[in-house]
Structure formats: structure tokens, C-alpha cells
Amino acid sequence: MKANLPPTHCGNTMFRWGEKTYVMGVVNLSPDSFSGDGLGGDVGAAMAQARRMVAEGADIIDVGGESTRPGTEPRSIEDIDEELRLVVPVIERMASEISVPISIDTYKATVACRALEAGAAMINDIWGLKKDPSLARLAADRGVPIILMANERDAPPKAGILARVTADLQTGIKIALEAGMPPENIIIDPGIGFGKSLEQNLELINRLSELKALGKPIMLGTSRKSMIGLVLKLPPEQRLEGNLAATAIGIANGADMVRVHDVRPTVLVCRMSDAIIRRGSVDD
């Protein structure tokens, strides 16, 4: 299964979509992270985690300084001081010490700008340009890729989740292209867990291949999400097996990148899934 998508250049890496599933390791700096792994302002701990993830096979590290815990109100676009305090020192260290590109997980252009100056090479916008469309111009001017996520927390849909997510992503893609973003620098994310019910999340993963019609690489983020907890009745730290199952099915349905907290087991699942789905080669 090879996608006819142009490659995306990110920092010192070329993402060649269709050749393999890329793994994004998560470094959460917000102390109230939903997954229980928030590191606060501990730069040393963040660096140790990033180094371990790279050694385990992560292709990119995603750094975030604001919690996306369900029920948490997003901060205003102007409320950036705490986020900058958390992310900028970590990104500066990572950019000089790790070998893979760094993504900044933010929906605020001011934070993204400082993160790019510190060494980040990708923007991961969980609001898909809904909160701050100027992120698109920033990404275009800096020549960095952007991930646009479908976020329904403002108005959770009761039905037609695939149509809603598709329309949401189309809107973000249109804003990005009009701002001058090269088409190959746009990645999409269906936004598992963001304003969707359990059944809607399961449907999105099951029908992920239908988002290929948008002509963009797909990132899937299910790691430790409440969807897994609801199915398996387990807390975030015990949801690894559930996420590995979702990852394998996501790859079979077209995921090009997966965003995870547990890198090593995910890399192995991706490698095996790719060998089957993408007809990659493995040693006997």
C-alpha cells in the first residue's frame, strides 16, 4: 500500500509517505497532562525522555506545554507566558542534542514562532487553524509543515462524524493553501478524542481510509486516549495494548504517522504492520 503523496521535508528529515509508518514521540510539559506524564519545567527529564524515544526509534518528537485534558478550557491566544516558559528551553536543548526533528504542539502563532526560533521544525495545531489562522502564514513563511487536526470540542456533532471531520479538515486545508503553504507541507489528523463520542472515535478509525480522499498524509493519535479506557476499563498508564491494536488497524486503514507515548512497542507494531500492509521487507 503506497500512497501517491509527495514527500514532506521537515528539518533534517524527509518523510516519504507510503514507505513506512512514522512514529512521533510525545513529550508533555504541562503538569496536568491527561495521560499522567506531564514533566512541568524539568528540562533534564524532558531531555532524558526525548533521548530515550529517539533511541527507541522515534522519527520526530512533539513538545507541548498546554494540557488537552477533556474538560480543560483552551487558554486564550494572548495567554502564552506559561506555555513559552515550559517549551522554549526544552526545544532549544533538544534542537542541539537530538538527531530527529521537533514539532511544537500549539495553536498559537506567537508560541509557534518562538518555538521555531528555538529549533522546532513542524507545527502541530490541535485546532486546525480554527483558533489562530495566522499559524498558516507563519508556517508558509518559515517553510515548515503543519498538522491540522479536526477538533469538535466547540460543537460536538451528534451524527455524521466522518462528514463533519472531512469538512473541518477541508476548511483548515483551504486556509493553509490560501496562506501560501505548499500542499506537501500539510498533514491531517482526524482528532480522536476531541469532541467525539466513543462510537464516533471507533468509527473514525474504522473508516480512516476515507480521509485519503483529501490527498494528505494522515497522522493518528490514539495513545492513552479515553476511547481505549472506555473499551478496556483501564486507566491511562494501562492502555498500551489497546493503543497497539488501534495503531495496527489505523495503519491498515491508511495512517502515515502515529503520535504515541510508548515508542518502543509502537515502533515494533509499525514495522510488522508495514511489512504486511506496505509489503515492506523483513529478515527471515
Among the listed residues 259, 271, 278, 279, the single catalytic one is 259
* Helix 263-277 with 43-56: angle, nearest 10 deg: 30
Contacts of 160 (CB under 8 A, 6+ apart): none
pLDDT tens string 97-123: 999 999 999 999 999 999 999 999 999
Residue 213 has what DSSP assignment?
A: G
The answer as to whether 204 is a domain residue is yes
Q: Is 16 a residue of the active site?
A: no
pTM of the model: 0.93
The answer as to whether 188 is a domain residue is yes
Q: Indicate whether 240 pLDDT > 90.
A: yes
Q: How many domains does the chain have?
A: 1
Q: Whose grid coordinates read 487553524?
A: 129
Which CATH number does the domain housing residue 147 bear? 3.20.20.20
Q: Is 174 a residue of the active site?
A: no
Pairwise CA distance, residues 235 & 214, whole Å? 34
pLDDT tens string 258-268: 999 999 999 99
Q: Whose grid coordinates read 531531555?
A: 47
The answer as to whether 236 is a domain residue is yes
The answer as to whether 91 is a domain residue is yes
Range of the domain at 157: 20-277
The answer as to whether 7 is a domain residue is no
Q: Indicate whether 282 pLDDT > 50.
A: no
Task: Report pLDDT for 72.
Answer: 58
Pairwise CA distance, residues 161 & 133, whole Å? 23
213-235 average pLDDT score? 97
Q: Indicate whether 135 pLDDT > 80.
A: yes
pLDDT above 70 covers a percentage of the chain that reads 90
The answer as to whether 12 is a domain residue is no
The answer as to whether 11 is a domain residue is no
Give the distance from CA 275 to its chain's centroid. Answer: 23
Among the listed residues 137, 225, 233, 264, the single catalytic one is 225
Q: Indicate whether 74 pLDDT > 70.
A: no
pLDDT tens string 146-183: 999 999 999 999 999 999 999 999 999 999 999 999 99
The answer as to whether 27 is a domain residue is yes
Task: Report pLDDT for 37.
Answer: 54
